[in-house]
């Protein structure tokens, strides 16, 4: 897994990697910006609707901005994986072309619609599972480090599946994919934990989606051989 990480970092200068990074970052910022704008207008409208004064409306607007900034930090992983899901095929193709040309010739083409559905499924699981565990996160606040540990474990599990499916779907039929998930549970979890760690490191989290997708490609092919 460590070797896969360094191979992925070494390829960051690839023009295809750079292209995906710029497109995914721009789309992620756009989506989070749209969320922020909607929250600001929505809360301000509520303040006007319930008859709050201009001063209160300004406070509500500031509160909306703060809320969105906090939410963006929490939701960044889900949005980023949704976005990278759309462009993942380009990363996988770049890695396979350089390191696994034989596997590339036997791969399937994944349609944009399929990639988008996988990305939406990933983002949906992230939101649903973490919202469902919110009470447990709150209970663990008393332990100090408990919420962080739970976050890593849960999101490592989720991200590991998302990343592995991103690559496996190009090479395995549906029945093979189900069997593959069962036989690679532990290593897939390790992949997800490393990816989750990348997402929480400032600055590094900007390239985390690209590195994670490349790592998953190396993990898949090196594991099969």
The Cα 164–Cα 175 span in angstroms is 15
The pLDDT value given to residue 53: 58
The pLDDT value given to residue 34: 80
The pLDDT value given to residue 64: 64
Q: Could you say which residues of the chain have pLDDT below 70?
A: 48-78, 225
The pLDDT value given to residue 217: 93
For 110-116, which contacts have Cβ atoms below 8 Å and span 24 or more sequence positions? 110/169, 110/170, 112/86, 114/169, 115/85, 115/86, 115/87, 115/88, 115/89, 116/85, 116/86
The pLDDT value given to residue 56: 60
Number of domain units in the chain: 1
Give the Cα-Cα-Cα angle 7, 12, 14 (nearest 5 degrees). Answer: 105
pTM summary value: 0.79
The Cα 134–Cα 141 span in angstroms is 11
Domain containing residue 60: 2-224
Q: What does the pLDDT look like over 42-85, one tens digit per residue?
A: 777 777 666 665 556 566 666 666 666 565 556 666 677 777 77
The pLDDT value given to residue 189: 92
HSE, side-chain direction, 13 A CA sphere, residue 29: 7
């Amino acid at each position: 897994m460590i070797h896969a990480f360094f191979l992925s970092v070494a390829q960051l200068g690839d023009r295809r990697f750079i292209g995906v990074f710029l497109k995914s970052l721009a789309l992620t910022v756009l989506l989070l910006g749209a969320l922020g704008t909607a929250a600001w207008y929505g809360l301000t409208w509520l303040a006007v609707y319930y008859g709050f004064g201009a001063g209160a409306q300004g406070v509500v607007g500031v509160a909306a901005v703060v809320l969105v900034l906090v939410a963006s930090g929490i939701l960044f992983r889900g949005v980023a994986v949704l976005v990278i899901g759309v462009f993942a095929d380009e990363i996988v193709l770049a890695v396979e072309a350089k390191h696994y040309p034989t596997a590339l010739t036997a791969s399937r083409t994944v349609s944009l619609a399929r990639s988008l559905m996988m990305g939406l499924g990933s983002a949906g699981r992230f939101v649903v599972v973490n919202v469902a565990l919110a009470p447990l996160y709150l209970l663990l606040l008393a332990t100090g480090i408990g919420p962080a540990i739970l976050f890593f474990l849960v999101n490592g599990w989720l991200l590991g599946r998302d990343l592995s499916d991103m690559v496996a779907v190009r090479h395995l039929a549906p029945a093979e994919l189900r069997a593959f998930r069962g036989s690679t549970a532990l290593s897939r979890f390790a992949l997800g934990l490393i990816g989750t760690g990348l997402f929480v490191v400032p600055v590094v989290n900007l390239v985390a989606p690209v590195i994670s997708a490349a790592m998953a490609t190396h993990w898949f092919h090196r594991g099969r051989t």
